[in-house]
Amino acid sequence: MSSPVSHFEAIEVFDSINLGLIVVDPDLKIVLWNQWMARHSRITQEQALRNDFKGLLADQLSPGFLRALDNALRYGLPAVMSSALHRSPLPLFHQHENEDAPVRMYQSIIITPLTSAEGMHSCLIQVSDSSTSVKREKMLMSHSETLKRQVVTDSLTGIYNRRFFDDSYASALKQAKRQQSALSLFMIDIDFFKQYNDHYGHMAGDKALKAVANALGGQMMRSTDVFARYGGEEFIILIPGFSPEQAGLFAEKLRACVLALAIRHEKSLANHYMTISVGVDTCIPEPDFDGKLLLDRADAALYRAKQGGRNQVHASV
């Protein structure tokens, strides 16, 4: 005895598929509009069938989609439109979206020419929902950007770290050599910070480091200014375009902004409040200039500022 075989109408199959199916004839009349399309376009099958495709959707079709559709009907050229390049070519919406402010669904679309025996081109349009893929892509990109920031950011203060400074300094030095422009380097050290940590505790020390970092960072004015934590209680700043006189004035501003925080420091031999010492050097690097020399000179200037009593600025000579 033979087993019964179930027969389905083609439209039943089309309506059960979890993607949009549209077929348009050479005159752009709609001959297939499945239930998925009806749900997400809010246009019923009765409203869509035998209607003009462009007229039905008015001006809501993207230019890229219209070009691809024209190429399919006129020249028999297939097309694939990914959600990466064409986010929402058709006016399709998720059912749960607010009716007052609907948001278009992200879509991937395949346009396939259908050629009749007479050589006339109709086309099949397949539409799938790419919203989940796009959200995943955005999440991965956001995670990637977060990881990149973590690599070049100091975890305590939130400013750039030494790795970022080293890369930025190499780039800035090349540019200064090429343009024969000035670079100013500021080496900064919090005075008697070990004594502060020993007396007030490491939690207070961390809080003070953040406060100093914020104060110094607030002095940066241009996107080309580079400010980073160089180690422990040390910071470093690189600024292009300063004359030696301007660099000296700016270094004094840095010293003053930290003193103005009025962070009590009873164990400091320089002041009753937390202070910094600053060493600065400015140069116009020649093509064969060794970048380490600028770092060494700024560091030597910082050493002299500390040897001179701290809470002061010293420029290299």
Measured CA to CA, the distance from residue 141 to residue 161 in angstroms comes to 22
Which of 135, 36, 45, 39 minimizes the C-alpha distance to 96? Answer: 39
**Could you read off the pLDDT of 200-240 as tens digits, one per residue?**
999 999 999 999 999 999 999 888 999 999 989 999 999 99
Measured CA to CA, the distance from residue 287 to residue 180 in angstroms comes to 9
**CATH C-level class of 10-136:** alpha beta
In angstroms, the Cα distances linking 210 to 90, 187, 213, 261, 288 are 50, 17, 5, 12, 38
* Spatial contact of 251 and 316, defined as CB atoms under 8 Å apart: no
Q: Which CATH superfamily is domain 153-315 in?
A: Reverse transcriptase/Diguanylate cyclase domain (3.30.70.270)
Q: Name the active-site residue from 233, 234, 252, 266.
A: 233
pTM assigned to the model? 0.59
Q: Strand 107-115 relative to strand 79-81: parallel, antiparallel, unpaired? A: antiparallel
The predicted pLDDT at position 249 comes to 96
> What is the identity of the amino acid at 251?
A
10-136 and 153-315: same fold? Answer: no
Start-end of H helices in 233-307: 244-259, 291-307
Measured CA to CA, the distance from residue 20 to residue 111 in angstroms comes to 12
245 is catalytic: no
Q: Is 159 helix (H, G, I), strand (E, B) or coil?
A: coil
* Spatial contact of 249 and 242, defined as CB atoms under 8 Å apart: no
**Where are the strands (E) in the chain, listed by range?**
20-24, 30-33, 79-81, 107-115, 121-129, 183-190, 226-231, 234-240, 276-283, 313-315
* Spatial contact of 263 and 297, defined as CB atoms under 8 Å apart: no
Q: Is 232 helix (H, G, I), strand (E, B) or coil?
A: coil
Q: Identify the segments of the chain with pLDDT beneath 70.
A: 1-8, 59, 84, 95-101, 134, 142-150, 317
Measured CA to CA, the distance from residue 238 to residue 225 in angstroms comes to 6
The predicted pLDDT at position 150 comes to 66
* Residue boundaries of the structural domains of the chain: 10-136, 153-315
What single DSSP character describes residue 2? P
Q: Cα 191 from chain centroid?
A: 37
**Could you read off the pLDDT of 78-106 as tens digits, one per residue?**
999 987 677 788 989 886 545 566 778 88
Measured CA to CA, the distance from residue 164 to residue 144 in angstroms comes to 17
